[in-house]
A = this chain, B = another copy of it.
Amino acid sequence: MTKRPRGFIVVTGSELVRGDRRDLNGPFLAGEMLRHGIEPARISIVGDGEEELSEALAEGLEGADLCVVSGGLGPTHDDRTVELVARAAGVGLRLDEELHEQIGAVSRAFAERLGRPYADFEPGVRKQATIPEGAHSLGLAGTAPGLVLEHCDTVVVVLPGPPAELQRLWRSTLESEPVRELLARTKPPDLRQLRFFGVSESTVAKALADAGGDGDGVEATICARDFEIHVDLVVEPGKGARADELSQRLVAPLERQLFSRDERPIEELVLDLCRERGLTLGTAESCTGGMVAERITSVPGSSDVFVGAIVAYADEVKARELGVPPEVLERHGAVSAEAAAAMAAGARERLGADIAVAVTGIAGPGGGSDEKPVGLVYLHAVGHDGSRSRDFVFPGDRASIRRRATVTALHLLRRLLEQTRDESA
């Protein structure tokens, strides 16, 4: 089997190497490389200093078939990427007249809007229009040009730091000749997903091992993500049948916990299930504080299904806005199966929703007791045809408990929707 081309990613930015900001470019570029049949071998995050960046570039130019560098393309002297890429590739720099005009035009308009003389900007314009010999522009993002350059066996791509700008120029990158030639050498793998909920990562790992394990053109990675277990298969060309067989054997003991074979997040699945059945949806939340509603509404087009939410943080609000009877709050407390059921029914009624899910619990770190510890969460989902309820004591800190309760609420909705669909089938 031909080995896939290797990709190196170099991300520059002092706020990144210092941990002030999380890097988004590395994961984006790595995922894109993988999708196109290139194996991402390393992501190096360095600051703005010359030494570190030079070292990372030298490694990339030596060890990779595709080396993508992001950041440091601005007009100031701190922006060294272009100069150091040229040095690493052993070529000089030249002023590209066409770029000089393009960037100049953008800067002139900017200077006018700010009421400042263009002369202030000219040195920066010259700098950004100065590119390594042999390099070609991929287009402008603001005033910085993306660049592509071939050096020995490596295709070097230079892109701006801001993620939105990088992602926009990435399309031009894929269409550039050097990158197209590289991609033509490799057939992209087939990527498949299996998504499980309600089972541990080690159980899925054991099931994979029992199914024969990966290898022989089918790579399987198991990842616990967002309290679900994600299995991703990377299937080399011609190994589809092997992948089918492995999937079948892996899924067989875990059928109940398999909830998806694609990349749609759970909130999108729930919305699709509701939409298929012409149902509207709402939530009643306490400890999750609106997180369930926020996830549902993060999906474009959710407004044709989702009608609203009532976040009842204080008990008075549970009583007044959700109609939870005071006796329930007194006898069982706000964190109870009875309160969850009353909240869910109240949400359906007040919001005019066909289906609703309620979550009430103790997110911590305070608020726990011996009978009702931190992490105790009651969930209740109800629709026309039935209901489902669960309760847990989730481990972890406040953020983790809230996130887990949110994901569990969404899966409870899914189970309710699938249950009523199965029953009416």
Chain A residues with a Cβ under 8 A of chain B? 14-24, 26-32, 34, 40-47, 49, 52, 55-56, 59, 63, 164, 221, 223, 225, 230, 232, 280, 283, 285, 287-294, 296-298, 300-303, 306-314, 316-317, 320-321, 350-352, 363-367, 396-400, 402
Say whether A43 contacts B41, CB under 8 Å: no
Q: Nearest Cβ distance between residue A89 and chain B, in whole angstroms?
A: 21
Partner of A308, one of B27, B46, B312: B312
B contact residues around A225 at 8 Å (CB) = 20-21
Q: Nearest Cβ distance between residue A232 and chain B, in whole angstroms?
A: 7
B contact residues around A28 at 8 Å (CB) = 19
With A300-B398, A321-B308 given, is the CB distance from A41 to B17 under 8 Å? yes
With A18-B30, A289-B293, A316-B307 given, is the CB distance from A45 to B43 under 8 Å? yes
Say whether A399 contacts B298, CB under 8 Å: yes
Partner of A45, one of B15, B45, B364: B45
Q: Nearest Cβ distance between residue A391 and chain B, in whole angstroms?
A: 20
At the interface, is chain A mostly helix, strand, loop or mixed?
A: mixed
CA distance A59 to B46 in the complex (A): 13
With A26-B45, A43-B44, A45-B42 given, is the CB distance from A352 to B313 under 8 Å? no
Q: Nearest Cβ distance between residue A401 and chain B, in whole angstroms?
A: 11
CA distance A42 to B27 in the complex (A): 17
Identify 26 residue pairs between A and B in the complex whose beta-carbon atoms are under 8 Å apart, listed by A's number.
A17-B30, A18-B34, A18-B40, A19-B29, A19-B31, A19-B40, A20-B221, A20-B225, A21-B225, A22-B22, A41-B49, A42-B47, A43-B44, A280-B314, A288-B297, A289-B294, A289-B306, A294-B294, A297-B363, A298-B399, A302-B313, A303-B314, A311-B311, A316-B352, A317-B351, A321-B350
Partner of A18, one of B31, B301, B350, B397: B31
B contact residues around A367 at 8 Å (CB) = 303
B contact residues around A363 at 8 Å (CB) = 297
B contact residues around A21 at 8 Å (CB) = 27, 223, 225
B contact residues around A292 at 8 Å (CB) = 290
Q: Nearest Cβ distance between residue A76 and chain B, in whole angstroms?
A: 9
CA distance A65 to B398 in the complex (A): 35
Known interface pairs A19-B26, A290-B293, A303-B314; 6 further A-B residue pairs with C-beta atoms within 8 A, sorted by A's residue number:
A19-B28, A22-B22, A164-B400, A294-B294, A297-B363, A309-B310
Say whether B293 contacts A311, CB under 8 Å: yes
Q: Nearest Cβ distance between residue A116 and chain B, in whole angstroms?
A: 10
B contact residues around A14 at 8 Å (CB) = 221
Q: Nearest Cβ distance between residue A257 and chain B, in whole angstroms?
A: 17
